[in-house]
Amino acid sequence: MIALIDYGAGNLTSVRKALAAVGARVFTPMAPGDLGRAAAIVVPGVGHFGATRALAGPWKRAILDHVERGRPLLGICLGMQWLFEGSEEAPDVEGLGVFAGRCRRLEARAPDKIPHVGWNAIRVAQPVALLEGVASDTQMYFTHSFAGPITPEAAAVTTHGEPFAAAVARGRVAGVQFHPEKSGDAGLRILRNFVGPIDSVNPDDGGA
């Protein structure tokens, strides 16, 4: 079962439908303790980084415990930004801190405009399981104004005004700045890549 986190930052319906389309069983946990029965976690979201304040405290501790047990975690859009240490959009709000660095506002450079909304190509920077079967120059759907830095964990990069991390991955933790649930077959492929190994994860023993 995949725990789809609802912290009030966007409509979860499209993500839930996309996960179901690739064969995943999904539930929305009502309390941090519910994550104990999750084989994997997805943190979606749109909007202001300040919304992630709702994930502080018990939720953050439960998600970090999930990661420490070797279970998969995927952040989507704002959920990916939350995987970093924080964002200049809400300097007083801490991120999960799995990836080093802070998110910042993209610089507008003609003809690109901010917010970045629409289809754009990703460049695969390194082979990771999440992007298996997804080629460079594949178009994904974006909607955001802030983005994560390009670090050694950047698995894909996109340029809009300036280059930024379109996907990050390390071990079983990954994030995508674009919306795979709105990115057609390529987006579903990415979700399928994430869901595929979950059958090998046993929530009772912390996974392999």
Residue type present at position 118: G
Q: Are 183 and 140 in contact (CB under 8 A)?
A: yes
Q: Which of 77, 116, 153, 160 is catalytic?
A: 77
| CA gyration radius, the chain | 16
Coil, strand or helix: which one is 205? Answer: coil
181 is catalytic: yes
Kindly give, in sequence order, each residue whose CB lies less than 8 Å from that of residue 13, ignoring residues fewer than 6 positions away: none
Separation in Å, CA 139 to CA 115, 124, 147, 179: 17, 12, 17, 11
The residue annotated as part of the active site, out of 66, 144, 160, 181, is: 181
Catalytic site residue from 66, 116, 144, 179: 179
Asked if 48 is an active-site residue, the reply is no
Residue 2: helix, strand or coil by DSSP?
strand
Active site residue 179: yes
Burial class of residue 28 in the structure, from the number of CB atoms within 10 Å of its CB (0-12 exposed, 13-18 middle, 19+ buried) = exposed
Residues involved in catalysis: 77, 179, 181
